[in-house]
Amino acid sequence: MPPEDLPETIHVTTDEQLRAVSNLTRHRIMAVLRFEPATITQIAERVGLAKGSSSYHVRLLERAGLVKVVRTRKVRGVTERYYAMAAQTIALPDPGEGAPDVLMRHAVADLEASSAQSERHVGMAHLRLTDEQFAELGARLQALADEYRKLSDPTLPDTSLVFALFHPASRAREEGDAK
Model pLDDT, residue 4? 57
Could you tell me if 7 and 66 are in contact, meaning their C-beta atoms sit under 8 angstroms apart? no
Model pLDDT, residue 158? 73
Burial of 167 per CB tally in 10 Å (0-12, 13-18, 19+): middle
Encode the chain (179 residues) as per-residue pLDDT tens digits: 455 577 788 888 888 998 888 888 998 899 889 888 999 999 999 999 999 999 999 999 999 999 999 999 988 888 899 999 999 888 877 776 666 677 777 777 777 777 666 777 777 777 888 889 988 998 998 889 888 888 888 777 777 777 777 776 554 455 555 55
Give the Cα separation of 120 and 60 in Å (integer).
32
| Domains (range + CATH), the chain | 1-94 (1.10.10.10), 114-179 (no CATH)
Model pLDDT, residue 1? 46
Complete DSSP assignment for 110-125: HHHHS-TTS-------
Give the H/E segment covering residue 68. strand 67-75
Could you tell me if 118 and 39 are in contact, meaning their C-beta atoms sit under 8 angstroms apart? no
Give the Cα separation of 38 and 23 in Å (integer).
19
Model pLDDT, residue 169? 52
Q: Provide the whole-model pTM.
A: 0.69
Helices 40-47 and 24-33, axial angle in degrees (round to 10): 120
